[in-house]
Amino acid sequence: MPLNVAPVAGESASLLAFLAQQREAARNAAYGLTEDQARMATTGSTLSIGGLIKHLAAAEESWIDKVLDCDTSDPGDYAAYMAGFHLQPTETMADVLRRYEEVATRTDAVIAGVADLDRAVELPKGVPWFPEDASVRWVLLHLVEETARHAGHADIIRECLDGATAGSLMAAAEGWPATPWLQPWEPATS
């Protein structure tokens, strides 16, 4: 995937392209990590790269469930929400990445079937962090925004972990050649 999103025709395709780019940035932050590294919190928070990607998958799935009017999540279940940011002992990074890819494929298919991005999306009432009125367009823009925010968190966590940056990780994941501007990430040798 290029470092920048290529020009795309059509609003749905454009929104999905920017969402895909941000998903890829989040996934690239996990490139080359061990299971232990995927669980490490390297900043003042408890966030880890594995936990962030797990959360992104669950959040995207929940938002698309709202688009389909089949969401059963409880926006008031704080404990479940917070647990969604942490890998459980039985969860692997490969499992979380596979699930994130499945969620992305589902999102793309659902949005392909939406004829009007202005179509209203019903959100829970009385929840202060939800807008009163939302549309499919709003949900997609929110997914781009939330994914970008958490991809940035993952970048910082990864850089604190081993010094790898988003560009060098993308270059390594994509097999780009080294240039004076960008060196693909390589694992440290001991």
pLDDT at 129: 83
pLDDT at 158: 97
pLDDT at 5: 87
pLDDT at 63: 95
Q: How many domains does the chain divide into?
A: 1
26 lies in some domain? yes
In terms of Cα–Cα distance, which of 18, 7, 47 is closest to 154? 47
How far apart are the C-alpha atoms of 14 and 149, rounded to whole Å? Answer: 19
184 lies in some domain? no
131 lies in some domain? yes
147 lies in some domain? yes
Three-class SS state of 120 = strand
4 lies in some domain? no
71 lies in some domain? yes
Residue 71: both structure tokens together? 């969401």
Domain that holds residue 152: 11-174
Annotate 18-59 with DSSP letters as a single string: HHHHHHHHHHHHTTT--HHHHH---SSSS--HHHHHHHHHHH
Three-class SS state of 186 = coil
pLDDT at 75: 74
How far apart are the C-alpha atoms of 167 and 172, rounded to whole Å? Answer: 9
pLDDT digit string, tens, across residues 84-131 = 999 999 999 999 999 999 999 999 999 999 999 999 999 888 778 888
